[in-house]
Structures are given as structure tokens and as C-alpha cells.
Amino acid sequence: MSDKSTNPKDKLGIKKVQLDKVPDTSIIYQALAMEDGALKYGPYNFRESNVAASIYVAAAKRHLALWFNGEELTEDTGIPNLGAVLACIGIIIDAQIAGTLVDDRPKPIDAVKLNNLLKKVKPKEPEVTKLCDCYACNDIRSSNACVKNRPNVG
């Protein structure tokens, strides 16, 4: 939006949640999964009765694992697995706001310790003993390739 806008609605609208930043593709995938769930269990059933967080976390992890391993669509109804992941997370959020979420998460571990575990550890480079400056040693990084260090065969 231009800073030169004179419409008073623009000044108010920009302060609200910018829903246009959510890709329509992800909304469609989630809607497909939510529609599938509504057909099976009824629309917004998670607002009518309590739902356990652990059930939806487990389901989201299963759908994500299936997608990560190459299964784009669910086996039973053919909806996108990523849409099912979004639906699970959406249900957790909605049930939490609606007051129907059963928070059955395990006792948390220290956040600092968890963050340290989640940091990517750079693998240690193997040590290479450089015996000479020949091309083979520099290229292959192995003294076995060096013609100077090979035992005489013959």
C-alpha cells in the first residue's frame, strides 16, 4: 500500500491482521481437509465437544511424515496430506480459543535445553594428513592416491 493513500479506511485497515498474506493454496488444502472431516464427524465438531491436543498433534505428525516420504494424498479419501496437517493445527488453535481443547501435553522440558538440542550441529571435518603438495593429494585428499607415497609395485 502506498504511503500517499488518502482513503481514511486504509489507515485503519493496515493496522488489522493482513489475511491477504496467507497463500490461497494453503487455505484451499486446509479447506479440503476440513470438508473431509466435516463429512465424517460433522462441521465444527471440535467446538461442540472436548478434543485432546495429543490426538491432533499425533495426526499432524503422521500426515507430515507421509508427505515427507512421498505420499501427496491420503490413502483413504485422497485429500492432500499437507492439508490434513493444516487442518489438525487449525483444530488445535480453534479448540484452544473456544475452550474445548484438552491440554494433555507432557510436562515440558527446559526451553533453553530444547533449543540447544534443535540447533544444527555442524559435523566435524575428517582430518586429512597431507604428505605432499602433488595434485592427487590435493584433489582426492588422500595420501593413498599420491604416486610419491605408493609402494613400488613390480
Residues 90 and 149 in one domain: no
118, part of any domain: no
Q: Which three cell numbers stand for residue 4?
A: 500517499
Measure the CA–CA gap between 112 and 118, rounded to whole angstroms: 10
What is the pTM (predicted TM-score) of this model?
0.70
Long-range contact set of residues 69-75: C-beta below 8 Å, sequence gap at least 24: none
Measure the CA–CA gap between 153 and 34, rounded to whole angstroms: 72
CA proximity to 35, closest of 83, 82, 92: 83
Residues 36 and 94 in one domain: yes
Residues 77 and 137 in one domain: no
pLDDT per position as a tens digit, 141-152: 444 555 555 555
Measure the CA–CA gap between 6 and 54, rounded to whole angstroms: 49
pLDDT per position as a tens digit, 19-76: 999 999 999 999 999 999 999 999 999 999 999 999 999 999 999 999 999 999 999 9
Q: Enumerate residues 6+ apart whose C-beta is below 8 A from 43.
A: none
Residues 135 and 90 in one domain: no
Q: Show the domain range for 151.
A: 125-154
